Structure 1
Amino acid sequence: MAATGHYLATAAAYRILEQGGNATDAGVAAGIVINVTLPQYTSFGGVAPIMVHDAARGETATIAGLGRWPKAASVDYFNANHGGVLPGGVLRTVTPSAADAWLSAIQLYGTMTFEQVVAPALELAEKGFPIPHSLHRALAREEDKFSNGSRDPRHWSATMEVFFPGGKALGTGDVAIQKDLANTFKRLVSAERSASGRGRVMGLQAARDLFYRGDMAHKMVEFNRAQGGLLSLEDMATFEAKLEPPVSIDYKGIEVFTCGPWCQGPTTIQALGILSGFDLQGMGHNSPDYLHTVIESLKLAFADRHSYYGDPDFVDVPMKGLLDPDYAAQRRQEIDSTRACPDMPRAGDPHAYQAYNGQNGNRAKPAHPEPVVGAAEPDTSYICVVDQWGNGFSATPSDGIGGAAVVPGLGFAMSTRGYQTWLDPDHPACLMPGKRPRLTPNPAMAFRDGKLWMPFGTPGGDVQCQSMTQLFLNVVEFGMDVQQAIEQPRVASWSFPDSGFPHGYTPAAMSAEGRIDPDTIRELERRGHVVEVWDDWTPRMGALNAITIDREKETLEVGADLRRDNYAMGR
């Protein structure tokens, strides 16, 4: 079974499964197709956080497909040269990480070669695919930036050539052909073949070396530097998409895994830990009591995210304490069932719930935030796969062509994920040379009786953990199948600083899809929530995919979100 953010990516995953590949082979194939077919959301030079479950090994791991700040970047640099602001564009560039994440995944947990898994994406890049209306709309929004002269045509020529021929965005039904990207895939395949006599792993390493140490690395660095960027060949050569353990909680006998605090993933399980102590079923699905409790629990988790989450290579994140059931119980007591917290709650103190030694950082916290106006940033996509052996794959690739120019001759944009960084030296996600920004994309998996039960995830920036929490509760607490769970109307809080610079923050703000009962909205407003009603089925609430495994019946169920172009396939 496979479900992804684009029907051609789902078809690619299924094709690989039919050819005998496992979930990781299929997931990587789908991910690279997503890089081709959803260029507004993702890039082969972007980010790709991955979670893999290997059933035979009994192993669940994450691959931190997230780039690092160049060694030349620092808070002092931006204070001295840009007035304490992270300007849009090239200065937000971190090392491209998706390529290494895809290659590392198939090296560690796959069975196929890069040549095999990239074949569907190579065909689509070389021969083209028809532009759906959703991509046309995204390109049309970007077109205005070219017409108003805010982009230097010297640097955006490769983007213009593919997606804006004649200065106009490709229309719905037009065929997008990406010859440079196809050639990049061919060159990586050729590098792999050149070392194939030494085995599959060495072939994959040869492809990786071409990207991070060879001619491709030189082209990326030269292009970045020509625009005033800070990336160096050393930054590229020393980058590694690290294999890291996931973090987890037990929710009423179901173990839920996310990536670590280098992303926002633990927010989901922190919120679930708080919610586990409430009688949610007794409140009733999407009732005022239920939605108020969900929103207030999420706000507590986001408050801890703001004060504690950051790259654990640089920051001591008290993860054990944050996920401790007793800490969740303490946070639960802070919720007023009749009144919304008027702003972001204060962070808790998880250190009392773990042995804390403070070796790699201090316990300074950022100042409580003031309201800030911010704009929505480009979005993301999602992939999940389960194979016949019970292996699972869950990934949330991101970083499209809106944030950075396509590199001439290579056909992809480099990650500008640096925008999810703070310049406050007391913030755990503060910029430092070589440090990873705190990432919003965050795949997840849930397990029953020690066996994979449900990979799930969504795009949507700061909405991701909120939509994922509601999906999980719809299935576990209210007995819905995953498609029903995905189609339920959703809500989201904005009463915390946005992950993207300048970190917009609107105290007490929340959003609700228009299908939420108007009387429920009025009651939430009476309790102090400032509610904005969105469209009935809005992509702003994300685009969930999930697969569940019924071990007794030996069946799979899948759900794909109709809020975007998601598609599911299986047998």
Structure 2
Amino acid sequence: MSFANARTTRPLLLGSRHMVSAGHPLAAHAALIVLEAGGNAVDAGVAAGFALNVTQPDMANLGGVAPVLIHMSGRDLVTSIAGIGHWPALATLEAVKAAGNGRIPAAPQRWVVPGALDAWLKSLELYGTISAAEALAPAIDLARHGFPVYYFLRHNLIEAAPLWTGWSNAAVYMADGRVPEEGEPLRQVALAETLERLAAAEKAAGGSRENGIRAARDCFYRGEIAEIAGRFSQEVGGFLRASDMAAYEAAEEPVLSVTYHGRCFYGCGPWSQGPAVLQMLKMAERYDIAVLPEAELHHLLIEIAERALHERNRYYGDPRINEIDTEWLLSDAHAAELTGGLDAYHRAADNDALPRPGRRSPDTTYVCVVDRHGNAFSATPSDSTILVTPMIPGLGFGLSDRGLQASLDPANPNAVAPGKRPRLTPNPGLMMGPEGLMVYGTPGGEVQTQAMLQFLMHHLHRGADLQAAVETPRWASYGVPATEDPHSARPGLVYVEEPLINKVGPRLKDLGHDPKPWPRLAALSGGICAIRRDAGTGVLSGAGDPRRMSYAMGR
């Protein structure tokens, strides 16, 4: 398929100074404010992250998770911040299993320590230039004064409202007893006050910028906020306590990387599903993606994605607990093993005999920034305070229920254990090569890695510019057991967006798949944001996915 004259719903955004793309336009604007004031990519990315916690409470929250990738051009550095909390000390495998009657409980017993707040502040402390108060300012304004409810948020509020019996969520999201209409303001005063506490703690600490940021962090993890959170967890039956909060620190951890056609692609470690994208690339490198007929291309990519996700389920987990041979997982030799026999691979499965998906999980959002110096920030915050998690009264955020993505099989590397981090689906991406730098990512749970793979293949090999690659019709396979309990799978099932299914559906069926239609620009197929910076000219291109609220801004 040629993309030379591809029509998109939005133009490709070009700039020469800085660029941001985020899951909500107001979060992108928060980053742009910081960039225009002279802040770097990390400053802007953290400001956008805080703003996303306000504008997309159905997608992420202050008490959730936030894996981060950072590139600092002056230091020739790529690093990650592991914004994922650990299981509480009381959360033994036996206790969690008993609480859920043999499953991961859809209840407070699956809550883990919040990781997002420390990920934002750790990023700012180590690689930013502004204060926590400056990074918090746009989010505080949005929370206190409100923003207009948009269609996607209203849809999720309507869906979640029946769950809120006895929860404080209703007092925030249904202040007058009803879900707000599109365009009505949503104010989150308690959340604004929590964010203001952090800024006040920083100011009271005095001293260096870094010392103030650490004081804001301690206000959350070791002060009254932690005490309130711990008491609330105990009152509703959760295992998390203030002592678990005090013991936590987001870790700066080495990134993983692979070379792919002369470019270096980076991902977070096996505490996320980031290595799966890298494994997919190593498998795809063995094929001439540019010349494959369209149906055969999608068949190949589906099989590559499924094999990488099987690898994820078999090997990935918290590397502080598990010994994981990532060098072998990402090697050319292992890619050759995984693709052996792929061309002849056909599937036979009884779809109706397999378990259906369980209760809906938290969703996710994304932000990326590239600044005037070529520094880059890529982060995928997650965990909703609307869909499944009760809000802590008076604080305006909920505790991370990321434990739903763990396993109760003691032999699984992602098994529940006190102090262990459950493996995340959120996984930001970053690429560096002779032609420049690119940051990219998406929400979507099991779909994330698959959407990222398709975006990269269309952009790098099929002639699509950044926006066209974002909007190109996508598919998602549900043939591999999901990360989330009850780890459902439907071997063969592939949802394919229109009009792509009309072109490739019959051939995919011949090749052993079970294609089902998705509408054009289906929200469940992800919401990719991406920025690219040309190494020669410094020109920036930005793209935002119209499937969701994603939006790019820059100049």
Name the aligned partner's letter for residue 300 of structure 1: R
Instruction: Note if contact 1:300-1:331 (Cα within 8 Å) is conserved in structure 2.
Output: yes
Q: In structure 2, what is the Cα distance between the partners aligned to 1:35 and 1:420? A: 21
Question: How far did residue 140 of structure 1 move?
Answer: 0.4
Deviation of 1:83 (Å): 2.2
Q: 1:373 aligns with which of 343, 346, 356?
A: 356
Q: Of residues 142, 146, 167 in structure 1, which corresponds to 2:177?
A: 167
Q: Distance in 1 between matches of 2:265 and 2:24?
A: 26
**Residues 453-532 of structure 1 mapped to structure 2, 5 A cutoff:** 453-532=437-516
Q: Distance in 2 between matches of 1:331 and 1:82?
A: 36
Q: Give the conservation status (yes or no) of the 8 Å contact 2:442–2:451.
A: yes
TM-score under structure 2 length normalisation:
0.94
SS across alignment from 1:468: helix
Residue 532 (structure 1) shift: 1.4
Q: For the Cα contact (< 8 Å) 1:70–1:433, is it kept in 2?
A: yes
**What is the rounded CA distance, in whole Å, between the counterparts of 2:209 and 2:384 in structure 1?**
30
By how many angstroms is 1:517 displaced?
Answer: 4.6
Give the deviation of 1:371 after TM superposition. Answer: 3.2
For 1:216, the equivalent position in structure 2 comes to: 225
**Equivalents in 2 of 1:493, 1:343: separation in Å?**
14
- Partner residue in 2 for 1:254: 263
3-state SS of paired residue (2:346) = coil
Which residue of structure 2 lines up, in the alignment, with residue 191 of structure 1?
A: 201
Q: Secondary structure at the match of 2:35?
A: helix
Whether contact under 8 Å (1:114, 1:204) holds in the other structure is: yes
Mapped contact 1:41–1:400 kept (Cα < 8 A): yes
Q: Distance in 2 between matches of 1:490 and 1:463?
A: 10
Q: Distance in 1 between matches of 2:302 and 2:280?
A: 9
1:448 correspondence with 2:466: no
Distance 1:168 1:515 in 2: 37
The answer on whether the counterparts of 2:97 and 2:105 sit within 8 Å (CA) in structure 1 is: no
SS of residue in 1 equivalent to 2:500: coil
User: How is 1:313-352 mapped onto 2 (pairs within 5 angstroms)?
Assistant: 313-337=320-344, 339-342=345-348
Query: 1:3, CA displacement in angstroms?
Result: 0.3
Structure 2 gaps of 5+ residues are: 1-18
Matched, 1:280 2:265: no
Q: Quick one: which amino acid aligns to residue 91 of structure 1?
A: Q
How far off is 1:479 after superposition? 2.7
Contact 1:343 1:496 in 2 (8 A): no
Q: Using the TM superposition, give the Cα deviation of residue 480 of structure 1 relative to its aligned residue in structure 2, in angstroms.
A: 1.7
Q: Give, in whole Å, the separation in 2 of the partners of 1:406 and 1:452.
A: 42
Cα shift readout 1:489-530 (whole Å, capped 9, x = no counterpart): 011111111111111111121111012052410110111101
Q: How does 1:119-130 map to 2 (within 5 A)?
A: 119-130=137-148
| Separation in 1, partners of 2:551, 2:143 | 20
Equivalent residues of 1:44, 1:412 under 8 A apart: yes
Q: Offset of 1:466 from its aligned partner?
A: 0.4
Aligned equivalents of 2:213 and 2:219: distance in 1? 10
Q: Work out whether 1:411 is the aligned partner of 2:396.
A: yes
Sort the Cα spacing of 1:81 and 1:281 in 2 relative to 1 into closer, same or farther, 3 A: closer
**313-322 or 137-146: which moved more?**
137-146
The whole-number CA distance in structure 2 between the counterparts of 1:280 and 1:452 is 21
- Measured after TM superposition, the shift of residue 81 of structure 1 is 4.2
- Alignment partner, residue 114 of structure 2: 96
Q: Counterparts of 1:318 and 1:372 in 2: how far apart (Å)?
A: 31
Distance across 2 between alignment mates of 1:440 and 1:557: 27
Task: Select which of 210, 219, 236 maps to 1:201.
Answer: 210
SS at match of 1:282: coil
Instruction: Name stretches of at least 5 consecutive residues in structure 1 with no aligned partner.
Output: 345-369
Deviation at 1:372, TM superposition (A): 2.4
Match for 2:89: what amino acid? K
TM-score, with length taken from structure 1? 0.91
Q: 1:210 offset after TM fit, Å? A: 0.8
| 1:35 to 2:35 alignment | no
Are 1:23 and 2:41 matched, yes or no?
yes
Flag the 1:371–1:427 CA change in 2: closer, same or farther, 3 A. Answer: farther
Rounded to whole Å, the distance in 1 between the matches of 2:499 and 2:362 is 25
Post-superposition Cα deviations, 1:458-510, rounded to whole Å, max 9, x if no partner, equal 00001000000111111111232110100100111111111111111111211
Partners of 2:475 and 2:217 in 1: CA distance: 41
For 1:503 and 1:374, how far apart are their aligned partners in 2?
Answer: 8
1:223 CA displacement: 0.7
Matches within 5 A, 1:352-363: none
1:179 aligned to 2:189?
yes
Selected match of 1:84 from 99, 102, 105: 102
Distance, in Å, in 1 between the alignment partners of 2:514 and 2:361 is 22
Q: Secondary structure, in 3 states, of the residue corresponding to 1:281?
A: coil
* Structure 1 counterpart of 2:308: 301
Instruction: Tell whether the 8 Å contact from 1:258 to 1:266 is kept in structure 2 after alignment.
Output: yes
Contact 2:383/2:401 (CA < 8 Å) preserved in 1?
yes
Query: Are residues 1:384 and 2:368 paired?
Result: yes
**Secondary structure of 2:27's match?**
helix
Change (3 A) 1:476 1:9: same
- In structure 2, the partner of 1:347 is none
Q: Give the distance between the partners of 1:565 and 1:464, measured in 2 at CA.
A: 16
Name which of structure 1's ranges 205-214 and 470-479 shifts more when overlaid on structure 2. 470-479
Displacement of 1:340 in angstroms is 2.9
Q: Which residue of 2 aligns with 1:235?
A: 244
**What is the CA-CA distance between 1:53 and the residue it aligns to?**
0.5
Counterpart of 1:281, as a letter, is: A
- Give the SS at the match of 1:336: helix
Deviations along 1:68-121, whole A, 9 cap, x unmatched?
A: 110111121134443212221311100011110000000001000001111100
- Alignment partners' CA distance in 1, 2:425 and 2:100: 25
**Contact 1:343–1:495 at 8 Å: present in 2 too?**
no
Equivalents in 2 of 1:135, 1:519: separation in Å?
33
Following superposition, the deviation at residue 383 of structure 1 comes to 0.2
Aligned-pair identity (%):
39
| Cα separation, 1, equivalents of 2:201 and 2:247 | 20
Aligned length: 533
Output one character per residue of 1:168-188: Cα deviation in whole Å (capped at 9) or x when no partner.
212211111111111111111
Higher relative contact order at CA 8 Å, sep ≥6: structure 1 or structure 2? 2
Give 1:553 deviation, angstroms: 2.3
Is the contact made by 2:100 and 2:106 (CA closer than 8 Å) also made in structure 1?
Answer: no
Residue 342 of structure 1: how far off its partner (Å): 3.9
Match of 1:7 among 11, 25, 29: 25
Could you tell me which residue of structure 2 aligns to residue 434 of structure 1?
Answer: 419
The structural deviation recorded for 1:403 is: 2.0
Amino acid at match of 1:140: I
Per-residue CA deviations over 1:287-315 (Å, capped at 9, x if unaligned) read 11100000011111111111000000111
